[in-house]
Amino acid sequence: MSTTEPVSTAVCCSASGGEACAGCVTAAKDCAACAAPGACADCAAGVACSLCSAADPEVVAVAATTPPAPVDIPDGEPVATIAARGMSCPLCASNADRRLMKIDGVTWTRIDLGQGLVTVGLDPAKPTPSADALQTAVRDAGFTAQEVTLPGEVRE
Amino acid sequence: MTPAAAVVATAGAWVTPADAQQSTDMPAAVQPGLDVLIVREEAVFMRLDDPRLGGAGSVELYEFETTFAYGLTRDAAVMLHVPVMVHDIENPGAIASDQGVGLDDLQLMFQYRFYQEDVGPIETRRAVLLSGVEVPSYDDGFSSESFDPLLGLAYTRIDGRHGLNASALWKFNTGTGDDFELEFGDSRFDALRLDGSYLYRLVPEAYTADTLGSHYAQFQVLGRYETNGDWQVMLAPGWMYEGRRWAFEATVHLPVIQELDGRAELEWGLNLGVRYLF
């Protein structure tokens, strides 16, 4: 991980089917793994929301062995995230990766199968792909696409 | 149909899709995505025994099967299965030769996913309709020389490290059959495959963004029934490694029940395969 501050290994309870904490958006820490409605989408530190992880001690224990995906994004590079479901294997990730890389403006992809989170790097010199285009790419690969967060967006 | 055409008219491993999280020797409700081509190569070995009066005796079969699976849409795929057969028969009898290499009947399959429920990052439940036809190769000694429709269903469920598959595939045999059959589906009788499998992801314990591949243990139960009354149950345990663009797999076929009057009995079999995503 490229962060300079201590990082919690806990992940949001929504990753295991629980309901995301509504207060996450105002919490001091953001959850890189959150994908459920209401979860905070402005994730870069890869650190769980202290309110969410405290709600379920079992989630914290499991997450200790499943660290959140490290995110090493150059400063200022725009990224988008897509919450996806049904990507059950490495070949699945490759499938989604191929379709996303065909979108004009997408420069790289990073797929966390365990969290169902797809992160794509965007070319700042090109128009940002639409949320629909990103979702369609994931769907065409054979999976379910959920929330898309474009650069500068924060879920409430 | 020539007598030699009764030899291995149908490859023991009917065409299976070629995508992820499917076990080696049966269909699954997974398929290539839109515009994705997966090529699968399998090397299958079978040792059979036909002790019937006038039977083939000891038989060794080698099948080199190439499957091309292409995603037409996110829910539909076509597959072409091309099997090359090598046989070594102790008592060829009416068969043209005791050793030979030839092209078995091809299979053209269409798969449509009519049910999909993705309930978690990796958790999913899916079902597909399978339909197709065996296309005769007309290779003397290897082909049934008949167009035989295929129809079936497959279901896949994945929860965490666990995967379950179930499938049923019926072959409408329009050929005339022969007295000298070796493999399931060779005769003039209709044939049913009922298969089930369980896959367990050995490593990694949990997927992360850095996961490049995973190892699975697979346990398959393969059932075969023909309307002449023959039936057979095999256990087929194995292993699979799946990377981001390719997969390796290996299974052993062990018969546990064989009530066969119309064809040779399987002693054991082996399937080695590789898949690549283009």
State yes or no: pLDDT of A92 exceeds 90.
no
Q: Can you tell me the distance from the alpha carbon of A28 to that of A9, in angstroms, rounded to the nearest whole number?
A: 16
State yes or no: pLDDT of A17 exceeds 70.
no
Q: Can you tell me the distance from the alpha carbon of A24 to that of A34, in angstroms, rounded to the nearest whole number?
A: 10
CA distance A47 to chain B (A): 15
Task: Give which of B236, B262, B264, B257 is closest to B44, Cα–Cα.
Answer: B236
Q: Is the CB of B244 less than 8 angstroms away from the CB of A86?
A: no
Name the band, by pLDDT with cuts 50, 70 and 90, for residue B88. Answer: confident
Q: Can you tell me the distance from the alpha carbon of B253 to that of B268, in angstroms, rounded to the nearest whole number?
A: 6
Predicted local distance difference test score (pLDDT) of residue A74: 63
Characterize B171-183 residue by residue with b for buried, 16 or more Cβ atoms within 10 angstroms of its Cβ, and e for exposed.
bebebebbebbbb
| Residue B69 in contact with partner chain A when CB distance is under 8 A | no
Handedness of CA B139, B142, B148, B154 (dihedral sign): negative
Name the band, by pLDDT with cuts 50, 70 and 90, for residue A55. Answer: very low
The tokens of A60 are what?
Answer: 């914290």
Q: Can you tell me the distance from the alpha carbon of A48 to that of A9, in angstroms, rounded to the nearest whole number?
A: 7
More confident residue, B121 or A11: B121
Q: Give this complex's ipTM.
A: 0.83
One-letter amino acid at B23 equals: S
Q: Can you tell me the distance from the alpha carbon of A84 to that of A142, in angstroms, rounded to the nearest whole number?
A: 10
Name the band, by pLDDT with cuts 50, 70 and 90, for residue A16. Answer: low
Name the band, by pLDDT with cuts 50, 70 and 90, for residue A56. Answer: very low
| Residue B159 in contact with partner chain A when CB distance is under 8 A | no
| Residue B215 in contact with partner chain A when CB distance is under 8 A | no
Q: Is the CB of B245 less than 8 angstroms away from the CB of A95?
A: no
Q: Is the CB of A113 less than 8 angstroms away from the CB of B207?
A: yes
Predicted local distance difference test score (pLDDT) of residue B264: 87
Residue range A91-113: mean pLDDT, rounded: 92
Closest CB to B20: pick one of A35, A92, A98: A92
Q: Name residue, tokens 């379950």.
A: B164
Q: Can you tell me the distance from the alpha carbon of B87 to that of B60, in angstroms, rounded to the nearest whole number?
A: 6
The tokens of B278 are what?
Answer: 């283009």
Q: Can you tell me the distance from the alpha carbon of A25 to that of A39, in angstroms, rounded to the nearest whole number?
A: 7
Name the band, by pLDDT with cuts 50, 70 and 90, for residue B53. Answer: confident
Q: Which residue of A has its CA nearest to B75?
A: A142
Residue range A35-54: mean pLDDT, rounded: 43
Residue range B181-207: mean pLDDT, rounded: 89
**What one-character DSSP code corresponds to residue A22?**
G
Name the band, by pLDDT with cuts 50, 70 and 90, for residue A154. Answer: low
Predicted local distance difference test score (pLDDT) of residue A75: 67
State yes or no: pLDDT of A68 exceeds 50.
no
Residue range B204-228: mean pLDDT, rounded: 94
Q: Can you tell me the distance from the alpha carbon of A100 to that of A138, in angstroms, rounded to the nearest whole number?
A: 7
The tokens of B120 are what?
Answer: 């978690």
List CB contacts (< 8 A) between B34 and chain A: 99, 140-142
Q: Give pLDDT tens digits for B28-42.
A: 998 898 999 999 999
Q: Is the CB of B123 less than 8 angstroms away from the CB of A88?
A: yes
Residues 6+ apart with CB under 8 A from B208: A66, A67, A69, A112, A113, A114
CA distance A61 to chain B (A): 14
State yes or no: pLDDT of A28 exceeds 80.
no
Name the band, by pLDDT with cuts 50, 70 and 90, for residue A52. Answer: very low
Predicted local distance difference test score (pLDDT) of residue B181: 65
Q: Can you tell me the distance from the alpha carbon of A34 to that of B64, in angstroms, rounded to the nearest whole number?
A: 46
Q: Is the CB of B207 less than 8 angstroms away from the CB of A84?
A: no
Q: Give pLDDT tens digits for B171-191.
A: 999 986 544 466 777 778 899
Q: How many CB pairs under 8 A join A and B?
A: 116
The count of other CB atoms within 10 Å of the CB of residue B52 is 16
Output the average pLDDT for chain B.
87
Handedness of CA A57, A58, A61, A67 (dihedral sign): negative
Output the average pLDDT for chain A.
68
Q: Give pLDDT tens digits for B123-177.
A: 999 999 999 999 999 887 788 888 999 999 999 999 999 999 999 999 999 986 5
Handedness of CA B51, B56, B59, B62 (dihedral sign): negative
Alpha carbon B95 to chain centroid distance?
25
Predicted local distance difference test score (pLDDT) of residue B115: 97
Q: Name residue, tokens 């990377």.
A: B243
The count of other CB atoms within 10 Å of the CB of residue B217 is 13
State yes or no: pLDDT of B98 exceeds 70.
no
B-proximal residues of A, 78-107, CB under 8 Å: 84-99
More confident residue, A46 or A76: A76
State yes or no: pLDDT of A10 exceeds 70.
no
Q: Is the CB of B34 less than 8 angstroms away from the CB of A144?
A: no
List CB contacts (< 8 A) between A66 and chain B: 206, 208
| Residue B119 in contact with partner chain A when CB distance is under 8 A | yes
Q: Can you tell me the distance from the alpha carbon of B130 to that of A76, in angstroms, rounded to the nearest whole number?
A: 49
Closest CB to B242: pick one of A91, A95, A139: A91
Q: Is the CB of A70 less than 8 angstroms away from the CB of B209?
A: yes
Q: Is the CB of A113 less than 8 angstroms away from the CB of B245?
A: no
State yes or no: pLDDT of B25 exceeds 70.
yes
More confident residue, B263 or A48: B263
State yes or no: pLDDT of A4 exceeds 70.
no
| Residue B121 in contact with partner chain A when CB distance is under 8 A | yes
List CB contacts (< 8 A) between B247 and chain A: 91
More confident residue, B163 or A7: B163
Q: Can you tell me the distance from the alpha carbon of B248 to that of B242, in angstroms, rounded to the nearest whole number?
A: 6
State yes or no: pLDDT of B60 exceeds 80.
yes
Which of A14, A89, A138 is best to mutate for the B interface (most B CBs within 10 A)? A89
Q: What are phi and psi of B50, to 5 degrees?
A: -120, 90
One-letter amino acid at A121 equals: G
Task: Give which of B89, B61, B65 is closest to B269, Cα–Cα.
Answer: B61
Q: Which residue of B has its CA nearest to A69?
A: B209
Q: Is the CB of A114 less than 8 angstroms away from the CB of B214?
A: no
Percent of chain B with pLDDT strictly greater than 70: 88
pTM: 0.78
Residue range A5-15: mean pLDDT, rounded: 45
